[in-house]
Amino acid sequence: MPANLTPQYREAEERFREAATHEEKRVALHEMMALMPKHKGTEKLQADLRRRLAKLEEEAEHGAKGGARRVDPGHVRREGAGQWVLIGPPNAGKSALLAALTHARPEVAPYPFTTHAPQPGMMPFEDVQVQLVDTPAVAAAHTEPYMVNLVRNADGVLVVLDPTADDLAESLAACRGLLERGRVWPREKPLPPEASPLLVMRPVHLVLNKADLDGDGTFASLARESAGEELRGFTVSAEHGHGLEELRGRLFADLGRVRIYAKEPGKKPDFARPFVLETGSTVHDLARLVHKDIAENLRFARIWGHARFDGQQVDRHHVLADRDVVELHA
Ligand SMILES: Nc1nc2c(ncn2[C@@H]2O[C@H](COP(=O)(O)OP(=O)(O)OP(=O)(O)O)[C@@H](O)[C@H]2O)c(=O)[nH]1
Ligand SMILES: [Mg+2]
């Protein structure tokens, strides 16, 4: 029986063949399995893919041949309320931006390809921390292969550009190419009807740096025009601080998270350490984070915040809002 593999499957297969890292191979194999038509004609192929995946996963678990454990440079462990990856051409100021927004101290230098490996930093915002990851330059001539996974696994992507640079169009194209390979679709951009089911919708913003060199903002306006409307643009100066406070607020807001302060009956809320949940989470989701037993035995909760009156009693299905104070009753 013919397998009738789709063009989308063939693309995933191509990515598997070209994959440079272990993690890229694993992702491509998962995509191939998801895209494979499930019928009698593909049973052998399905079994073969499962075998290959099991082998890859075992290698990751026990280290590659020779005993050395392979570390995927494209994987940065997520910390804080969410993770944004900074991508862009050489010299755009990605590292300068990381230094300005976080306590990290990456190398910043007036020559290209200064950054050689991803470097995370934690950006404080009000009472939470957001993770930013600085990365090596994206260029038409060379982009680190692991960058594909880095952008795919992040909660959001910042495309950092120097709008006064003369190769802006090429830089933008290289960044778009990387997002495409990572199957990251800017959330604001309408999805075409034939879009791949593997696309992940993420906030993708344009950060136009070096505003201090762009007197009346002409270069930034031109850059926004060529980037199109689907990317929200921020004009900043990493070195002079312009626009950074607005960006900081956006980076938390666009993660789509709420901060919840838990409170025990008769005690004051713990304002120092909010629980961070996805927007749309319920009282039950919070209870699960606090303790499994509380979640199982939850009777009701009281809420202070956006609810109609303070201390209002709600059930487990109640949807939480940012900065609610919640008292769980089990
Ligand atoms: N005038 C001005 N210069 C900046 C600004 N941000 C960064 N720079 C300068 O631009 C140069 C490159 O900055 P980096 O932060 O190293 O750039 P990068 O994007 O990390 O570069 P690579 O690591 O090579 O990809 C440095 O000389 C910085 O001092 C800014 O807002 N204004
Ligand atoms: Mg750098």
Tell me the CATH architecture of domain 257-329. Answer: Roll (3.10)
Question: In angstroms, what is the span from residue 94 Cα to ligand 2's centroid?
Answer: 5
Helices (H) and strands (E) in the chain, counts: 10, 13
CATH 3.10.20.30 segments of the chain: 257-329
What gap in Å lies between CA 130 and CA 192, rounded to an integer?
Answer: 31
Question: In angstroms, what is the span from residue 152 Cα to ligand 1's centroid?
Answer: 25
- Calculate the CA 91 to chain-centre distance: 22
- Cβ of 110 closer than 6 Å to ligand 1, yes or no, is yes
Coil, helix or strand at residue 62: helix
Question: In angstroms, what is the span from residue 111 Cα to ligand 1's centroid?
Answer: 8
For ligand 1, pick from 86, 87, 95, 113 the residue to mutate: most ligand atoms within 8 Å of CB: 95
What gap in Å lies between CA 105 and CA 100, rounded to an integer?
Answer: 9
Could you tell me whether strands 83-87 and 156-161 are parallel, antiparallel, or unpaired per DSSP bridges?
parallel
Residue recorded with tokens 């109640």: 318
Residue recorded with tokens 């789709």: 6
CATH 3.40.50.300 segments of the chain: 83-253
Q: Where are the alpha helices (DSSP H) in the chain?
A: 7-18, 22-35, 43-62, 94-101, 147-153, 168-181, 218-227, 244-253, 283-290, 292-297
From first to last of its 330 residues, the chain has per-residue pLDDT tens of 577 888 888 888 988 888 877 777 888 888 888 888 888 888 999 999 999 988 887 877 666 555 455 567 778 999 999 999 999 999 999 999 999 999 999 999 999 999 999 999 999 999 999 999 999 999 988 899 999 999 999 999 999 999 999 999 999 999 999 999 999 999 989 888 888 888 999 999 999 999 999 999 999 999 999 888 888 899 999 999 999 999 999 999 999 999 999 988 888 888 888 999 999 999 999 999 988 998 999 999 999 987 667 889 999 999 999 999 999 998
For ligand 1, pick from 87, 91, 213 the residue to mutate: most ligand atoms within 8 Å of CB: 91
pTM as predicted: 0.82
Q: Which CATH superfamily is 83-253 part of?
A: P-loop containing nucleotide triphosphate hydrolases (3.40.50.300)
